[in-house]
């Protein structure tokens, strides 16, 4: 195991009935005025909005609402939110929603202090500080509620890029799995696929750090088991809770110890898909791409992929592991081909160009333009 530093300052409050604690947590932090950021309005129908607003009012926390965050959050919306923050002298951001809402909230909190928020993603300005961020999670998937990373889309330039900063960890994240029991199955699929993919991105790139590898294998098995149970009963609280905590841990830092920074080639290629086709959910693209990527690169690290097949799926060969992954995704009703997400072969050259905008991809195998084309062709 190599030298590493581990730091995660996010306070997590987990369990049934915990949303009502958000007002107290914000008030105890010395904050009186927040931006209440959310997405398309589902929090109005599932009771989350009322719980949040009631808690804020109970503790005298004023708020300005700003809805409309898209499933693939976009630059212009974040810019508008920053202007609202400045005009209304708001002190912090409260993100209520899934990963997209929290990612945009991180962009707003950091972008508040720079000339333009997109400069952070282009790395022409650095994050030296950020406004405090609080989250109430309504969809467990990305793990952003417990890490320092965010993704934002710039559709005009076909860029869907990420940034990370130690100033961007949420101060407090509240996770009540019970509010996720009424999610549409498509969103549950996306949560399971996204969290599973985060672990795989780290697992396949790592050294022989047995502790981290074993943690990652256990989390992958737990995600698969929980998803299988939810397929039978979507209101199974225990399965929801296990999936929620696994999703948070999946990208919390603990799964990346001695994993050489991870692979992230699949994510980079997927970002090209969802910035070009914003109607495609991030996790849908990942479900399509991961089996194809494994087929293409597994010979570069055969022992790790064989271990994955055996310890996660109880299969003896990589090929059997790939088949087990595909069968699992199909059982969950996730797409496993580009055709299923309405991306045909004619788009492959352009998608490869977009994926390569930030340079070479990958770790165990360096992925260039021609490699991206081949991976996408496998995924057809």
Q: Note the pLDDT tens digit of each residue in 53-94.
A: 999 999 999 999 999 999 999 999 999 999 999 999 999 999
Q: Please, where are the H alpha helices in 204-301?
A: 210-232, 237-250, 265-276, 282-297
On whether both 208 and 330 belong to a single domain, the answer is yes
Long-range interactions of 237-243: CB distance < 8 A, separation 24+: 237/16, 237/177, 237/178, 237/181, 240/177, 240/178, 240/180, 240/181, 241/14, 241/15, 241/177, 243/140, 243/177, 243/191, 243/192, 243/195
- Res. 146: pLDDT tops 90: yes
**Quick one: average pLDDT of 128-147?**
98
pLDDT at residue 232, as a whole number? 97
Closest CA to 344 of 380, 370, 369, 298: 380
Q: Across all residues in the chain, what is the average pLDDT?
A: 97
On whether both 196 and 163 belong to a single domain, the answer is no
On whether both 160 and 201 belong to a single domain, the answer is no
On whether both 281 and 149 belong to a single domain, the answer is no
Give the SS3 label for residue 275. helix
Q: Angle, to 10 degrees, between the axis of helix 265-276 and the axis of helix 282-297?
A: 140
* 1 pLDDT tier (thresholds 50, 70, 90): confident
On whether both 175 and 194 belong to a single domain, the answer is no
- Res. 19: pLDDT tops 90: yes
**Quick one: average pLDDT of 14-43?**
97
- Res. 114: pLDDT tops 90: yes
**Quick one: average pLDDT of 128-156?**
98
On whether both 358 and 213 belong to a single domain, the answer is yes
pLDDT at residue 17, as a whole number? 97
Last residue of a domain, one of 179, 199, 219: 179
Residue with tokens 């919390």: 252
pLDDT in tens, 49-62: 999 999 999 999 99
On whether both 142 and 204 belong to a single domain, the answer is no
**Quick one: average pLDDT of 312-323?**
98
* 369 pLDDT tier (thresholds 50, 70, 90): very high
Question: How many domains does the chain contain in total?
Answer: 2
**Quick one: average pLDDT of 343-360?**
97
**Quick one: average pLDDT of 174-198?**
97
Residue with tokens 């650095």: 126
4 found inside a domain: no
| Cα 283 to Cα 274: distance, rounded to the nearest angstrom | 10
Give the SS3 label for residue 76. helix
On whether both 362 and 219 belong to a single domain, the answer is yes
Report whether 223 contacts 192 (CB < 8 A).
yes
| Cα 35 to Cα 137: distance, rounded to the nearest angstrom | 16
Closest CA to 289 of 183, 177, 197, 166: 197
Rounded to 5 degrees, φ, ψ at 111 are -65, -20
**Quick one: average pLDDT of 219-241?**
98
* 207 pLDDT tier (thresholds 50, 70, 90): confident
**Quick one: average pLDDT of 321-331?**
98
pTM above 0.85, yes or no: yes
| Cα 253 to Cα 301: distance, rounded to the nearest angstrom | 23
| Cα 334 to Cα 228: distance, rounded to the nearest angstrom | 13
- Res. 361: pLDDT tops 90: yes
Domain of residue 48 covers 11-179
Integer CA distances (angstroms), 11 to 105, 133, 170, 172, 178, in order: 17, 11, 8, 5, 19
- Res. 234: pLDDT tops 90: yes
* 2 pLDDT tier (thresholds 50, 70, 90): confident
Rounded to 5 degrees, φ, ψ at 200 are -65, -35
Residues 6+ apart with CB under 8 A from 195: 140, 141, 142, 143, 223, 243, 246, 247, 250, 251
What's the DSSP call for residue 280? S
256 found inside a domain: yes
**Quick one: average pLDDT of 30-41?**
96
- Res. 150: pLDDT tops 90: yes
pLDDT at residue 3, as a whole number? 84
- Which CATH number fits the domain that encloses residue 154? 3.40.50.1970
Last residue of a domain, one of 179, 206, 224: 179
On whether both 163 and 65 belong to a single domain, the answer is yes
- Res. 259: pLDDT tops 90: yes
Strand 33-37 and strand 62-66: pairing? parallel
On whether both 28 and 162 belong to a single domain, the answer is yes
pLDDT at residue 53, as a whole number? 98
Last residue of a domain, one of 179, 194, 223: 179
pLDDT at residue 206, as a whole number? 79
Report whether 273 contacts 370 (CB < 8 A).
no
What percent of the chain is modeled with pLDDT above 90? 97
Give the SS3 label for residue 268. helix
Find the distance separating the first CA and the last CA of the chain, reported in whole Å: 38
On whether both 175 and 191 belong to a single domain, the answer is no
């Amino acid at each position: 195991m190599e030298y590493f530093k581990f730091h995660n300052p996010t306070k997590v409050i987990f369990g049934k009935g915990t949303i009502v604690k958000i007002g107290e947590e914000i008030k105890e932090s010395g904050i009186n005025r927040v931006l209440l950021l959310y997405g398309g309005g589902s929090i109005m129908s599932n009771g989350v909005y009322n719980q949040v607003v009631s808690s804020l009012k109970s503790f005298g926390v004023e708020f300005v609402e700003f809805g409309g965050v898209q499933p693939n959050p976009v630059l212009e919306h974040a810019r508008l939110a920053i202007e609202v923050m400045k005009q209304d002298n708001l002190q912090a951001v409260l993100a209520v929603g899934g990963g997209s809402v929290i990612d945009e909230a991180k962009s707003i909190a950091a972008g508040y202090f720079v000339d333009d928020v997109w400069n952070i993603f282009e790395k022409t300005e650095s994050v030296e500080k950020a406004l405090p961020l609080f989250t109430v999670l309504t969809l467990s998937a990305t793990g952003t509620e417990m890490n320092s990373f965010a993704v934002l889309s710039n559709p005009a330039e076909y860029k869907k890029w990420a940034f990370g900063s130690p100033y961007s960890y949420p101060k407090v994240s509240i996770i009540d799995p019970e509010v996720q029991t009424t999610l549409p199955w498509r969103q549950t699929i996306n949560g399971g696929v996204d969290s599973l993919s985060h672990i795989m991105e780290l697992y396949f790139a790592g050294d022989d750090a047995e502790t981290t590898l074993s943690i990652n294998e256990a989390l992958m098995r737990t995600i698969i088991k929980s998803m299988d149970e939810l397929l039978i009963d979507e209101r199974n609280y225990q399965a929801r809770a296990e999936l929620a905590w696994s999703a948070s841990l999946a990208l919390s830092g603990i799964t990346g110890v001695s994993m050489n920074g991870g692979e992230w080639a699949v994510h980079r290629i997927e970002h090209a898909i969802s910035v070009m086709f914003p109607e495609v959910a991030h996790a849908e693209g990942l479900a399509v791409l991961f089996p194809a990527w494994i087929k293409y690169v597994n010979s570069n690290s055969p022992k790790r992929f064989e271990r994955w097949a055996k310890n996660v799926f109880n299969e003896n060969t990589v090929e059997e592991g790939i088949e087990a992954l595909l069968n699992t995704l199909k059982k969950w009703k996730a797409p496993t081909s580009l055709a299923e997400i309405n991306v045909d072969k004619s788009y492959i050259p352009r998608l490869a160009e977009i994926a390569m905008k930030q340079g070479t991809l990958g770790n165990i195998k360096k992925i260039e333009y021609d490699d991206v084309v081949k991976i996408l062709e496998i995924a057809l």
